[in-house]
Structure 1
Amino acid sequence: MRIGSPAATADIALDTIDLADPELYASGDPHTLWHALREREPVHRQTLPDGRSFWSVTSYRDVNDVLRDHTRYTSQRGTLLSILGSSDPAGGLMMAASDPPVHTALREPMGKALSARALAHWEPRIREVVLRLLAPLAEGPLDLAQAGTAFPMAFTGALMGLPEDDWARLAHLTTMAVAPEDPAFEAGGGHTTLLSAHHELFEYFARRVRTVSAAPGDDLTGFLLRMRPDGRPLRQDELVYNCYSLLLGANVTTPHALAATVLALMEHPDQYRRLLAEPALVTSAVEEGLRWSSPANHFMRYAVKDTEQNGVRIARGDAVVAWLGSANRDAAVFPDPYRFAVDRSPNRHVAFGFGPHYCIGAPLARIALRVMFQEIVRLVAEFRPAGPVRHLKSNFVAGISSLPVTAALRDGAAEALAAHAPLPRPEAVA
């Protein structure tokens, strides 16, 4: 998704806005449309040509209201626009598509296993993965977006106990699932691509669960097999859906936040110079990169009863879509919201969502991105564009599918990177 400062929005006809169109996020300017909606109609109804409709909320306050209140807005009927109007087969089975008490019973033990404290010992492995990802910069151009697709799998795959030979295919399938109409991932039409990706991923995890169920390992899949929410083991369908959800979440945020933050640093070289001069700002720079990129673009809910949102009546059963990228540009919360600032504080972004469904993998993503930018600051004096930027065609993931760069390396960096074998090239996936 292209990120810029909106021009004048007064002439935008709000009834012509189509926030469901994946092409808008590949080549259009959603930030201008969101800006217009926040100013003039922060709770906006859109009807699709096939008659399906949904409400969009675009202000920070409304987005938080919708995401935190399961008594008014349920997750169980589906959380993404791709299944608008359909029943989610994972509803009540997958943590991300459930409400309390089911959601609470699943989240509490999983949250402990994925806490920052529980994951701290993974940092050396993540650092090695980072150095392997950056290693090609010692010799020439690197497509950071394409290489970045292998980044989360190299530690999330290990965390889940998945065989390394499967990681590349799994990374490709998860992108097919969130961007089924993107030309690089489409296989026989968007709907067919989505069904194919889901079928292969669910079959994969069904086989995996059967394989390890007799002797669960000391990994996240084994943890799920040993879980006893409400005193009972998870059924196979619950195991499959939650394995899928954990993998999808890992592959959605981290690579796209990486690419978008590097692009922002190239477009705002003063901010990278600031970061080089003050490496202690890496943590706040990561948070600003998350706000700036907002990789998870939206989450959907359904109204469980007639309600009111910001003065607008929402009928029971209506779909409501919370646009995170818009909330993260709300000037009521973020002064000068279209300025990328590595020292922004406070920075109460909602890139990981809000409320009960706040991303359970956020601690892992933060560790991975912090280590990544610590190494980038240590090794790279300057990034330079080496080709056109391509944006992912998806209304769910605000992503970059191609970001070719070269780097001016700092003293000794080439030798340090040469000591690490590059990660397998993602082009071998398809």
Structure 2
Amino acid sequence: MRLTPGPARDVDLTGVDLFDLDLYGSGDPHPLWDVMRARAPLFHQVLPDGREFWSVTRYEDVRRVLSDHREFTSERGTVPTHLGTDDPAAGVLMTSTDPPRHTEVRRPLGSKLTARAVRVWEERIRATVVRFLEPALDGAVFDLAEQALLLPALVTGPLLGIPEKDWEELVRLTAMVTAPSDPHFLLGSEAATLAISHHELLTYVRDWARTHRAAGQEDESLLHHLTSVRPGGEPLSDEEIALDGYSILLGANVTTPHTVSGTVEALMERPEQYAKAAADPTLVPNLVEEGLRWTSAACNFMRYAVDEVEIAGGTVPAGGAVVAWIGSGNRDASVFPDPHTFDITRDGAKRHGAFGFGPHFCIGAPLARMTLRVFFEELLARFESLEPAGEPQHLRSYFIAGLTHLPLTGKKRRTTP
């Protein structure tokens, strides 16, 4: 979807379909979300097959839905592709589990991913980013979005304990999960694409766990750390490790590439912002936060109302599915003045909800922030300017906002590190 919206326009909400893939693949949902925040902050939609859901689009409502598991549970499914069919892994899969179990599984993993814990990875990540950028230094066309899909695996593969030979395939499978209708990843039907990717990812982690158990292998990898997690005092089964490892793989691979490419696209559209960041490297951390707000790569998450609940001036019935549109909340003018302006000096950019809120706040946020900071430090140090070299192509997904192609050329600085 377009991240820089077109002109504001009036929208007839009567026939709006928030699951229309064309709205995201080739369209512009931001003017629609602007109208919804103003006139229909709680929006009810019934799909042709009878499935229904309620949407919240204002920042505070998005935060409330994602923060309060007592009002809005994760234990029936958390992504719109599950709408109408409860997630069979709910209550076990970390992303589809509420506290206290969620906390018991998450806390020991989170201790390995604090800002202090991941700091030891910075120089390795920097070396990885430098190698990643090298092909663009000769001035040839470089498709950043296509290449960036592999960047998180290059960074997190060693941390997760995944051998390099498997990175590319796992990246493809995680992309299939989150964008099963995109022609780049579609295998037959959307349902078939989801089924294949789910099966292959779960099988991979299950086999990984069994092999490590059988061999008695000990290492510091995040996947191995799952074997020592004991919610309720009991170790995780191989199946539970497979499900939680699946969740970690998705979180590691899915959003960072699109934050990278979407932020670079915004900088190419605004060369004065690029020049400002290049002239003052201390702006890079805020550039990262503004990029996270601007791209909102995880466009939404879903919850279910535990009981009938009043929110956004309306009522959601008990058991109703609620989609919290992060991409809209991050453009709420009551929180982010002039929200459709990309401004790397924006005050309060870090308030964005790109990592979610509450118990399910992204466990890998410190690693993602460091990776993005290092990426832009190295990009700005090496390239005097970036120019588009073709039309961008957007991901066909209503869950992940991203790019599949962003061809560009870079003008190398006369002196580079």
If the TM-score is normalised by the length of the shorter chain, which range does it land in? over 0.9
Equivalents in 1 of 2:255, 2:367: separation in Å? 11
Please tell me whether residue 191 in structure 1 is matched to residue 191 in structure 2: yes
SS in structure 1 opposite 2:255? helix
Equivalents in 1 of 2:34, 2:229: separation in Å? 44
Match of 2:282 in 1: 280
Of 347, 365, 370, the residue aligned with 2:368 is 365
Please tell me whether residue 168 in structure 1 is matched to residue 168 in structure 2: yes
Please tell me whether residue 397 in structure 1 is matched to residue 400 in structure 2: yes
Of 308, 311, 322, the residue aligned with 2:313 is 311
Contact 2:23 2:29 (8 Å CA) reproduced:
yes
Alignment of 1:255-334 (within 5 A): 255-334=257-336
Encode CA deviations 1:209-241: one digit per residue, 9 max, x unaligned. 111123232211111111222221111121011
Encode CA deviations 1:99-141: one digit per residue, 9 max, x unaligned. 1111111121111111111111111111111011111112211
Q: CA deviation at 1:310?
A: 2.0
Of 319, 339, 344, the residue aligned with 1:342 is 344
Match of 1:422 in 2: none
Match of 2:225 in 1: 223
Q: CA deviation at 1:6?
A: 4.9
Q: Which TM-score applies when normalising by structure 2?
A: 0.97
Gaps of 5+ in 2: none
Gaps of 5+ in 1: 417-430
Q: CA deviation at 1:412?
A: 3.1
Equivalents in 2 of 1:146, 1:216: separation in Å? 35
Q: Which amino acid aligns with 1:156?
A: T
Match of 1:134 in 2: 133
Contact 1:216 1:225 (8 Å CA) reproduced:
no
Q: CA deviation at 1:250?
A: 1.4
Please tell me whether residue 80 in structure 1 is matched to residue 93 in structure 2: no
- Equivalent pairs counted in the alignment come to 413
Contact 1:62 1:309 (8 Å CA) reproduced:
yes
Equivalents in 1 of 2:5, 2:177: separation in Å? 30
Contact 1:15 1:46 (8 Å CA) reproduced:
no
Encode CA deviations 1:241-299: one digit per residue, 9 max, x unaligned. 11111110111221100000000000011111111111110000000000000000000
List structure 1 segments (4+ residues) > 6 angstroms apart after TM superposition: none
Q: Which TM-score applies when normalising by structure 1?
A: 0.94
Q: Which amino acid aligns with 1:168?
A: E
Match of 1:155 in 2: 155
Give the fraction of aligned pairs with identical amino acids, expressed as a percent. 50
SS in structure 1 opposite 2:258? helix
Please tell me whether residue 105 in structure 1 is matched to residue 104 in structure 2: yes
Match of 2:379 in 1: 376
Contact 2:41 2:313 (8 Å CA) reproduced:
no
Equivalents in 2 of 1:134, 1:186: separation in Å? 29
Contact 2:389 2:407 (8 Å CA) reproduced:
yes
SS in structure 2 opposite 1:19? coil
Equivalents in 2 of 1:106, 1:52: separation in Å? 32
Q: Which amino acid aligns with 1:372?
A: F
Equivalents in 1 of 2:22, 2:120: separation in Å? 41
Equivalents in 1 of 2:155, 2:196: separation in Å? 25
Please tell me whether residue 407 in structure 1 is matched to residue 410 in structure 2: yes
Match of 1:35 in 2: 34
Q: Which amino acid aligns with 1:243?
A: G
